[in-house]
């Protein structure tokens, strides 16, 4: 029971008249009337039938206790004073069930156990303090709801610092740390009782994440964070460009991120230079799971000194289309020019590795130039994925093995002559399995992208290693983020890369577990030896006069709307004449009878 007690005349403005609802008349503090108690010693406010009066004299002689929060198990005559934060009284408009349609019927009649304890709230005139008067003994059991505010704040901070922290993991760690501290058993039990509710910890984590993600895809929040990062880290390239389509509809929304160290790596990759990075391919890929509202475009390179994949640039874009990719290359070149103070400098790597997304290939041709397009290759793994999908359409293990062998022969042929022989056998195989024709036509057009007989020769990677960076995001839980969260993650990765480079130069970091520069040189040496053997075998066949040697030609095929998946076959309108039997306009009687039996409960059919 709650009775409002205040000296302020503004108390009459509250929506809920608690005193009237409890059949109690309000009083002033300077009212000196006596208490009205019944024979049982219970205040008349609880036993009378008419409007009765209650006075502060019931608590005469009690000292006021200043507290930060009200104890949950108050009992007896006590007075507390604490700072007023918010009026938590519920108005009549807010008194409703969470689910008004949720009706529960009880078969056992509830026993009415009256509780004569009364809690009275007095708000000061300046509304800064609240005095709580408690009178009477409780017959009900006090139940502590929730955990202490300090523990909630500590848990929220822990959840904000670590996205992978589970509520139950935090509870166990908190109890363990409390036991290891110089605390009593009662303190440990108190902490454990406050953390016993799993739902409470889940709510705390949800609120903590909501505070971090409250901006959602708010470009104002991204801009604010960009200014803070630039001011604190003195790097304007960490969040280089932020474009909001709602303010300028000429371009789609995007967020481009890099750093000074990443741009320096991009400059060192210039194929006309003598840096070890000048012979490395860049790896381009898109990720659709990192940001909930955007597609993430990333550019990576393998660093032979750090022996790991290093990210050059990241951009959140609305879609993975030609316009977004053109913007990506243009902004990257603009950042390189600004960082190097050279208006003519562009990103010119030794080559490009990517998948068969048509927007990637077309954008390189449009922005980077034809020479860069001729230095572009596709991931062999994506070709293998399509082979695995098509193999499932075949019947018989021998047929599947033959198809896989032919695909490997076509893909791994070292010379155009060997490729032609393997392709002839593939054509013969497809003549029997005609449903593979469209799949073969797709890769025939892209033979210079993926097949080794037509790809560039020197230091060409076989797979797209950008997937390594994307899998790392999944491992650390950096997926399904908002744009502001993605910025935080990218800034952290850029700072970590900068620290790794500094530590390597100082001799304090030996790098990752990838191949070193010496290992890469050995690998290239072995590849050249294998090609030499293939060329010698080809010369032997040419010397016999049976075949003519052909030159290696790069492929300039580009289809802006294509993907690495098999082109879907165009489906025509269904016609009754295309079927062996006509369509049945209505369900058959046997089917309707079976359906009727299935719908009936067992025993009624």
Categorize the per-residue pLDDT at 117 as very low, low, confident or very high, splitting at 50, 70 and 90: confident
Residue 27: per-residue pLDDT: 38
Please write the tens of the pLDDT for every residue from 48-104: 443 334 566 677 778 888 888 778 778 888 888 888 775 555 455 545 555 555 555
* Mean pLDDT value of segment 153-172: 84
* Mean pLDDT value of segment 373-401: 91
* Mean pLDDT value of segment 210-232: 77
Per-residue H/E/C for 168-189: HHHHHHHHHHHHHCCCCHHHHH
Which backbone phi and psi does 114 adopt, to 5 degrees? Answer: -70, 145
Q: What is the DSSP letter of 59?
A: G
d(CA 245, CA 561): 23
**Cα pseudo-dihedral 351, 354, 357, 360, rounded to 10:** -40
Categorize the per-residue pLDDT at 581 as very low, low, confident or very high, splitting at 50, 70 and 90: low
Whether the Cβ atoms of residue 554 and residue 373 lie closer than 8 Å to each other: no
Q: Looking at the predicted structure, is the pLDDT value of residue 251 above 80?
A: yes
Categorize the per-residue pLDDT at 573 as very low, low, confident or very high, splitting at 50, 70 and 90: low
Residue 528: per-residue pLDDT: 82
Whether the Cβ atoms of residue 117 and residue 134 lie closer than 8 Å to each other: yes
Helix residue ranges per DSSP H, 234-368: 260-268, 322-340, 358-363
Of 314, 342, 317, whose CA–CA distance to 237 is shortest?
Answer: 314
Residue 67: per-residue pLDDT: 85
Residue 547: per-residue pLDDT: 65
Residue matched to tokens 């108050």: 74
Q: Which residue has the higher pLDDT, 432 or 574?
A: 432
Residue 488: per-residue pLDDT: 92
* Mean pLDDT value of segment 400-415: 92
Residue 261: per-residue pLDDT: 95
Buried-exposed string 184-214: b where 16+ CB fall within 10 A, e elsewhere:
eeeeeebbeebbeeeebbeebbeebeeebbe
Whether the Cβ atoms of residue 403 and residue 429 lie closer than 8 Å to each other: yes
d(CA 370, CA 60): 94
Q: Looking at the predicted structure, is the pLDDT value of residue 343 above 50?
A: yes
Judged by DSSP in three states, 163 sits in coil
- Helices 149-161 + 198-212 axis angle, to 10: 60
What token pair was written down for 342? 């050279």
Which backbone phi and psi does 313 adopt, to 5 degrees? Answer: -160, 155
Residue 87: per-residue pLDDT: 55
Whether the Cβ atoms of residue 54 and residue 45 lie closer than 8 Å to each other: yes
Q: Which residue has the higher pLDDT, 114 or 375?
A: 375
Please write the tens of the pLDDT for every residue from 522-537: 888 888 888 788 778 7
Residue 219: per-residue pLDDT: 83
Please write the tens of the pLDDT for every residue from 119-155: 888 888 887 888 888 888 888 877 766 677 788 888 8
Residue matched to tokens 């902490």: 191
Categorize the per-residue pLDDT at 37 as very low, low, confident or very high, splitting at 50, 70 and 90: very low
Region label for 350, one of left (φ > 0), alpha (ψ between -120 and 50) or beta (otherwise): alpha
Percentage of the chain exceeding pLDDT 70? 78
Q: Which residue has the higher pLDDT, 19 or 505?
A: 505
Categorize the per-residue pLDDT at 592 as very low, low, confident or very high, splitting at 50, 70 and 90: confident
Q: 129 has which bridge partners?
A: 83
Categorize the per-residue pLDDT at 44 as very low, low, confident or very high, splitting at 50, 70 and 90: very low
**Cα pseudo-dihedral 411, 413, 419, 421, rounded to 10:** -110
d(CA 485, CA 29): 54
Whether the Cβ atoms of residue 356 and residue 562 lie closer than 8 Å to each other: yes
What token pair was written down for 193? 């009782």
Residue 404: per-residue pLDDT: 94
Residue 107: per-residue pLDDT: 64
Whether the Cβ atoms of residue 303 and residue 265 lie closer than 8 Å to each other: yes
Domain ranges in the chain are: 70-83+115-139, 149-213, 220-379+463-506, 386-460+532-543
Residue 424: per-residue pLDDT: 92
Categorize the per-residue pLDDT at 157 as very low, low, confident or very high, splitting at 50, 70 and 90: confident
Residue matched to tokens 């195989």: 429
d(CA 190, CA 8): 39
Q: Mean pLDDT for the chain? A: 79
Please write the tens of the pLDDT for every residue from 458-500: 788 989 999 998 998 988 888 888 888 899 999 999 999 999 9
Q: pTM here?
A: 0.61
Q: Looking at the predicted structure, is the pLDDT value of residue 32 above 60?
A: no
């Amino acid at each position: 029971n709650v009775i409002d007690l205040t000296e302020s005349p503004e108390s009459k403005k509250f929506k809920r008249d608690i005193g009237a609802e409890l059949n109690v008349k309000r009083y002033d503090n300077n009212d000196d009337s006596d208490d009205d108690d019944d024979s049982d010693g219970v205040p008349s406010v609880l036993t009378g039938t008419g409007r009765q009066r209650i006075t502060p004299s019931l608590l005469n002689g009690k000292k006021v206790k200043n507290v930060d929060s009200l104890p949950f198990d108050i009992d007896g005559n006590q007075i507390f004073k604490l700072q007023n934060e918010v009026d938590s009284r519920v108005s009549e408009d807010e008194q409703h069930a969470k689910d008004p349609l949720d009706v529960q019927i009880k078969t056992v009649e509830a026993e009415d156990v009256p509780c004569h304890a009364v809690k009275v709230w007095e708000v000061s005139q300046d509304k800064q303090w609240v005095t709580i008067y408690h009178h009477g003994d409780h017959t009900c059991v006090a139940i502590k709801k929730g955990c202490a505010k300090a523990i909630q704040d500590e848990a929220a901070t822990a959840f904000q610092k670590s996205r992978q922290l589970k509520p139950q993991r935090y509870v166990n760690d908190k109890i363990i740390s409390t036991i290891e501290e110089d605390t009593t058993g009662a303190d440990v039990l108190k902490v454990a009782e406050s953390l016993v509710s799993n739902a409470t910890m889940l709510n705390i984590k949800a609120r903590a994440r909501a505070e971090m993600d409250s901006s959602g895809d708010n470009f104002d929040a991204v801009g604010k964070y960009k200014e803070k990062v630039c001011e604190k880290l003195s790097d304007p390239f960490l969040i280089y460009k932020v474009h909001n389509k709602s303010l300028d509809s000429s371009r789609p929304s995007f967020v481009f991120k890099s750093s000074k160290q990443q741009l320096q790596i991009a400059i060192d990759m210039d194929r006309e230079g003598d840096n070890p990075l000048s012979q490395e391919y860049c790896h381009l890929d898109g990720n659709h799971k990192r940001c909930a509202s955007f597609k993430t475009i990333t550019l990576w390179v393998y660093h032979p000194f750090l022996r790991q994949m290093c990210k050059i640039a990241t951009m959140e874009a609305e879609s993975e289309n030609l316009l977004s990719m053109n913007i990506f290359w243009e902004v990257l070149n603009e950042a390189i020019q600004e960082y190097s103070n050279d208006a003519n400098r562009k990103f010119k790597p030794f080559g490009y590795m990517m998948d068969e997304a048509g927007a990637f290939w077309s954008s390189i041709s449009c922005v980077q130039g034809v020479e860069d397009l001729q230095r572009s290759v596709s991931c062999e793994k994506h070709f293998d994925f399509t082979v695995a999908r098509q193999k499932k359409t075949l019947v018989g293990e021998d047929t599947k093995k033959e198809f896989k062998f032919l695909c490997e022969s076509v893909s791994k042929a070292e010379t155009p002559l060997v490729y032609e022989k393997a392709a002839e056998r593939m054509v013969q195989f497809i003549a029997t399995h005609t449903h593979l024709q469209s799949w073969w036509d797709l890769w025939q057009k892209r033979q210079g992208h993926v097949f080794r007989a037509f790809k560039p020769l020197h230091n060409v990677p076989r797979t797209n290693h950008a997937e390594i960076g994307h899998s790392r995001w999944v491992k650390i839980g950096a997926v399904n983020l908002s744009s502001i969260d993605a910025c935080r993650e990218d800034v952290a990765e850029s700072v970590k890369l900068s620290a790794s480079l500094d530590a390597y130069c100082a001799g304090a970091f030996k790098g990752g577990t990838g191949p070193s520069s010496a290992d890469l040189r050995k690998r290239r040496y072995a590849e050249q030896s294998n090609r030499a053997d293939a060329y010698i075998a080809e010369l032997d066949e040419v010397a016999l006069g049976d075949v003519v040697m052909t030159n290696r030609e790069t492929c300039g095929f580009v289809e802006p709307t294509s993907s690495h998946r098999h082109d879907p076959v165009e489906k025509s309108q269904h016609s009754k004449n295309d079927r062996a039997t006509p369509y049945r306009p209505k369900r058959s009687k046997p089917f309707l009878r079976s359906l009727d039996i299935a719908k009936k409960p067992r025993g009624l059919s």
